[in-house]
Homo-oligomer: A and B are copies of this chain.
Amino acid sequence: MSKETDEEIDSEFIIKLTDFLGFDKERVRHLIEKNYLARNWGRYEYLLRFDKEISHIERGTILYEKDSSFEMITGFPKIRRAMVLDPTVKKHFIGLEKVAVEEKMNGYNVRIAAVRDDILAFTRSGYVCPYTTQKVKEKLSLKFFEDFPELVLYAEMVGPDNPYISKDIYNVESVEFYVFDVREKNSGKPFSISKKREILKKYGFYQAKFFGKIALETAPEEIGKIVRKLGETEREGVVIKDPEMILSPLKYTSSQSNCADLRHAFKFYNETGRDYMLSRIVREGFQTVEWNESEYEFEKRCMQLGKSILNPLRESIKNVKEGHRLCEEARIRVRNLKIVVDFQEYLNRLGVDAIFEEPQFVGGEYLITIKKLNKSTTDKTQAIWQGELW
């Protein structure tokens, strides 16, 4: 293809995009040039993703040509956090009689949709993850997408064979997809809670646990109880929703979840953002005051916080002292080793420094341990052990 033809096609493509997005041509060109509107690679090159929030289009939104126009899969809307339940919940949902409360699960956020005769799983940033896509095909009833090609499932991938966030707490053997939102393509319009739960049930999808609709007046107290209960089994917390999904949802998490975040953060202390650490610590302060804890409970919380910080720090510092390099272990499970190659290439493209160990054949499938290297914390810790100054 000659350079001229390339440019002509490009021009035509940009005009079509201009029409669809309602931006002017210069702006669209700028977005492409800056890679704010970037292409996936390989066979998914036709999928554009917003690498940045642009005029209310969420980061991670996906765009591709469909018939003579475009189709859009909107990104994950950012869910804001209540630091205290009272008065935040009452104030945010003012005017509603009841709020719907669902479990916030600790997994990997994916969107699943039919795209050009295929079913794809998109990450938060808008990449097609080959491993997650394969798992979707194995685990979900795909008839849903035949019946509703215009809908997108917003789900949490949970379980031990999750290469991103591996958790054993959900009683899942390998991985499962827990759907928490159903939305329309293009508009991103969500289903109401009841409509969502009904359609998901019909197709046999797992759903985030539903704690029912709770009167707004008593919601802070009741949600407090639910979150404390969830915390006892290391579960993350809740998302509080307008049953009609018109007002935006709020999240609130358990102390155990804050501490789990801190354990991970301090294990890789030089990789983690300072704001990430601080916000989780400050949450502990607000929770103990809002819940009016006794000195005994407070001391327990102090000990838990101190250990959540110092234990992983000590582990990492010791490990490096003994000559190890720090890494995060994850695991995947596949039927076909081709997926491993695809996934490895995918991580590579994303710049993740990962070592894939030899596949183990178990129960008709292959288990592969992946070690993601944490170079920054390893190098910093090593330098300190070699006498470098802070």
Binding site for B on A (CB under 8 A): 80-84, 87-88, 90-92, 250, 266, 269, 274-275, 277-279, 281-282, 284-286, 288-289, 298-299, 301-307, 309-311, 313-314, 316-318, 321, 384-390
Residue of B nearest to A275 (CB): B274
Q: Are A301 and B305 in contact (CB under 8 A)?
A: no
**B317 lies within 8 A of A307 (CB):** no
Q: A309 to chain B: which residues have CB within 8 Å?
A: 281, 302, 305-306
Q: Are B313 and A284 in contact (CB under 8 A)?
A: yes
Decide if B302 touches A389 in the complex (CB within 8 Å). no
The main secondary structure of chain A at its interface with chain B is helix
Given the complex, which residues of B lie within 8 Å of A285, measured CB to CB? Answer: 266, 269, 310, 313-314, 316-317
Query: Which residues from chain B contact A92 at a C-beta distance below 8 Å?
Result: 387, 389
In the bound assembly, the distance between CA atoms of A298 and B306 in angstroms comes to: 10
Interchain residue pairs A-B with the least CB separation, the first 10:
A306-B306, A285-B313, A274-B274, A302-B306, A91-B387, A88-B387, A80-B389, A305-B306, A87-B387, A83-B384
In this complex, the member of A304, A307, A389 whose beta carbon has the largest number of chain B beta carbons within 10 angstroms is A389
A sample of 21 cross-chain residue pairs with beta-carbon separation below 8 angstroms, ordered by A number, consists of A82-B389, A87-B387, A88-B387, A91-B386, A269-B285, A274-B275, A274-B277, A274-B278, A277-B277, A285-B310, A285-B313, A286-B317, A288-B314, A289-B314, A289-B318, A298-B310, A302-B303, A302-B307, A303-B306, A305-B305, A305-B310
Residues in B neighbouring A288, C-beta threshold 8 A: 310, 314
- Minimum CB–CB distance from A329 to chain B (whole Å) comes to 21
Closest to A86 in B: B387
**Is the pair B305, A387 in contact by a Cβ cutoff of 8 Å?**
no
Which residue of chain B lies nearest to A92 when distances are taken between CB atoms in the complex?
B387
The distance from the CB of A182 to the nearest CB of chain B, in whole angstroms, is 25
Most buried by B among A306, A385, A388: A306
Which residue of chain B has the shortest Cβ distance to A381 in the bound complex?
Answer: B286
> How many angstroms from the CA of A310 to the CA of B314 in the assembled complex?
20
Q: How far is the CB of A295 from chain B (nearest CB, A)?
A: 11
The CA-CA distance from A289 to B338 in the complex, in Å, is 44
A297–B307 alpha-carbon span in the complex (Å):
12
Residue of B with least CB distance to A305 = B306
A150 to B298 CA separation, bound complex (whole angstroms) = 56
Q: Name the residue on B nearest A85 (C-beta).
A: B387
Among candidates B250, B284, B384, residue contacting A310 with C-beta atoms closer than 8 Å: B284
Q: A282-B313, A285-B313, A317-B289 are in contact. Are A390 and B80 (CB under 8 A)?
A: yes
